[in-house]
Amino acid sequence: MEPCSRLFFYCRAGFEQETLAELLWLCDEMGVRVSGTAPARSGYVLLQLDDPRLTGSLLARLRLQSLTFSRHFLACDGPQEPLPIKDRLTPLGQRLASLSQEVGPFAALWLGYPDSEAGKVLAPLCRALQGRLEESLRKENRLQPDTHHPRAEIVLLSGTEALTGYSWPDKGAHWPMGIPRLRLANDAPSRAALKLEEAFWQLLSPEERRQRLTPGQRAVDLGAAPGGWSQVLLQRGLAVIAVDRADLAPTLRDAPRLHHRRADGFHFQPSQSVDWLFCDMVEKPRRIAALIQRWAQAGWCRAALFNLKLPMKKRFEELQLCRQLLLSPLQQAGIRCQLRFRHLYHDREEVTGLLLLDAHGRGKPGARQPGPDPKHPANPAQRQPGRKRET
Ligand SMILES: C[S@@+](CC[C@H](N)C(=O)[O-])C[C@H]1O[C@@H](n2cnc3c(N)ncnc32)[C@H](O)[C@@H]1O
């Protein structure tokens, strides 16, 4: 029997409509009929399947890496009786016990609340319940750390309202509520450093981090000033060309393996191809998408990590358009790649994209050797798709 009838998705408050739009699109692609609720500024979306018996199988098919706006997701029960304020532990414990009878022991217990104004006040209650519930699960032998078991989840929506459910450790977030616990280095030139660290965790698998992010690699960082991203890359042992007309932080001026070029990021060309292109320039998203596509098609990089600043309205539609703008020319040129987007915890009105090119993607038709002239304009033929869609 399927113990859960709905799916719950955490997102940033204010992005509920984008989260829902993406989920409806994805479910439609998978041929699963759903409806959803996305209360404004709630920080979450709830999906109801037309056939609730399929909830568990949809949960198993979803991957956080294929979602942009959701931070984490779980299967959860339907509406329940309000929790009594004097004893929330007993009914929550009972709900977990009956869930465990259906899905087996739990690998862990995650308690959370929506990342919204209304949700944040629930943090102390959440902390208070966590230890006590874990203790009773352990006593009943329902807690057995093993990634093959599902993870028990409780989401507090208010002091008297809670959803109980489960998620799969290998498919959802690394952190409860999808909020990373990362520390900014004391000497970081900007808070943007946190964004890049989070992107490496959220967008790359452990295997990809091992293979694609190694000391000695070369990177170009477009829009690098004051240097938060460049510093993260240097700390990971990469050699960096930081492109920005603005100054880098004084702490970075004499850094080994770092070269600062005062140039326009849209005209800069590397003298030889690099492993990574990073781009944090504040520009129209379509222009950035076209730039990344141009670097990929020319074979100037093997991977790219970039930000798209989304407009206030129609963010999801704009993202889909940029996706097409980037992918279509590469597909036409026979260049194999993977494209992922995440709305990171450290992103605000933007999403972070990752383009991974297949090792075999280089040298395909359309690939050009990087030229030595940094002022060399982009190939107009290659810019055509971007211009066409911008009109
Ligand atoms: C959000 S900041 C980048 C922060 C940086 N990633 C960090 O970690 O500190 C955007 C930067 O893009 C630069 N920028 C904007 N347009 C540019 C262009 N056309 N060429 C080069 N740099 C540009 C700005 O000068 C600014 O320093």
309 is a catalytic site residue: yes
Q: Both ends of the chain: CA-CA distance in Å?
A: 53
In 50-107, the DSSP E strands lie at 72-76
Same domain, 163 and 248: no
Q: Which atom of ligand 1 is nearest to the CA of 225?
A: 27
Same domain, 137 and 213: no
Same domain, 245 and 155: no
Q: In the 8-state DSSP scheme, what is residue 343?
A: -
**End residue of a domain, out of 148, 178, 208:** 178
Helix-strand-coil split of the chain, %, nearest 5: 35, 20, 45
Digit-by-digit pLDDT tens for the chain (391 residues) are 688 999 999 999 999 999 999 999 999 999 999 999 999 999 999 999 999 999 999 999 999 989 999 999 999 999 899 999 999 999 999 999 999 999 999 999 999 999 999 999 999 999 999 999 999 999 999 999 887 899 999 999 999 999 999 999 988 899 999 999 999 999 999 999 999 999 999 999 999 999 999 999 999 999 999 999 999 999 999 999 999 999 999 999 899 999 999 999 999 999 999 999 999 999 999 999 999 999 999 999 999 999 999 987 899 999 999 999 999 999 999 999 999 999 999 999 999 999 999 975 544 434 444 543 333 333 323 333 333 322 2
Same domain, 148 and 243: no
Q: Which atom of ligand 1 is nearest to the CA of 246?
A: 25
**252: domain range?**
192-390
Q: Measuring CA to CA, which residue among 342, 313, 341 is closest to residue 325?
A: 341
β-bridge pairing 34-37 and 44-49: antiparallel
**End residue of a domain, out of 178, 208, 228:** 178
Testing ligand 1's pocket by substitution, the residue of 191, 252, 281 carrying the most ligand atoms inside 8 A of its CB is 281
**What pTM, to 2 d.p., does this model score?**
0.90
Q: Find the CATH number of the domain harbouring 254.
A: 3.40.50.150
How many other CB atoms sit within 10 Å of the CB of residue 230?
33
Of 309, 314, 364, 388, the active-site residue reads 309
Number of domains in the chain: 2
Pair of tokens at residue 181: 């616990």
Q: Find the CATH number of the domain harbouring 86.
A: 3.30.2130.30
